[in-house]
Amino acid sequence: MRMKEDHMMNGQLKPGYNVQIGTENQFVVGFSIHQKTNDINCLIPHLEQVRDQIGHLPRTVIADAGYGNEENYAYLEQNGTDAYVKYYLFNKQQKRSWHKQHFRAENWEYDPARDEYICPNQQRLTFMRSRKRITDNGYCTSSRVYECGSCADCPLKPECTKAVGNRRIEINLTLNHYQQQAREKLVSDQGRKLRSRRGVEVETVFGRIKQDWGFRRFTLRGMEKVKTEWGLFCIAHNIAKLAVQ
């Protein structure tokens, strides 16, 4: 994994474990250990393990932008979970400057009758082909590729694209739908309230274990041993929380 302690300043990968926790009122209600380099592929396995531990999925899930992809949104919807999960562009889209970025395809006009996107120079990008991808968890995503007819003489091309040929964009309609749903929920009064709680909920637990108790390296090796070691710290944290209530 890429550690925060990057002494070589080169993003080097080091042996490590990806720890996921779920909390309620700062009590750990579920945890899981992974050997995946990013969080986005950990959400579903983590929630499945939580389901095994407590017998059901949480009614509501709040998570940061590290978890917001199509696969996770689809899983949460299919399981009837009320999801307040950011996606990687959410924070940028809340700023006024976002709408001034005229060369981002997300801000372009779409003509549904002709299935074409219109660029800032009023040129049309037409549908070329579909592209499918399979995630590490086996989920299939589909996107649509659009291309401008000719960018060769466009005076805006240096600002629009660095490509030698014409500007191309790739649109995932399903993901766009999920992101629209997520955006509406996240900017609601309830969404703002839950977003403000998320950092306090989770980071408080990590702060106590890592900073207050000084636990920054696993002393054991292997998934089962590391799972036991982390589980003991989670139990200790919950007991400490009960002791001060």
Give the amino acid at 80.
G
Q: By the 8 A CB rule, do 125 and 147 touch?
A: yes
How much is the pLDDT for 180?
95
Alpha-carbon distance of 14 to 2, in angstroms, equals 6
pLDDT interval class at 7 (50, 70, 90): confident
Q: What is the mean pLDDT of residues 99-109?
A: 93
Q: What radius of gyration, in Å, describes the C-alpha atoms of the chain?
A: 22
Averaged pLDDT, 118-127: 95
Global pTM value: 0.90
Distance, in Å, from the CA atom of 102 to the CA atom of 100, rounded to the nearest integer, reads 6
Q: Where are the domains of the chain?
A: 1-58+189-245, 96-172
Tell whether the model's pLDDT for residue 9 goes beyond 80. no
State the amino acid at position 171 in one-letter form: I
- 3-state secondary structure (DSSP) of residue 136: coil
Evaluate whether 116 touches 146 at the Cβ level (below 8 Å): yes
Q: At 217, is the secondary structure helix, strand, or coil? A: coil
Tokens (6 digits) for 85: 């999960």
Phi, psi for residue 60 in degrees, rounded to 5? -135, 135
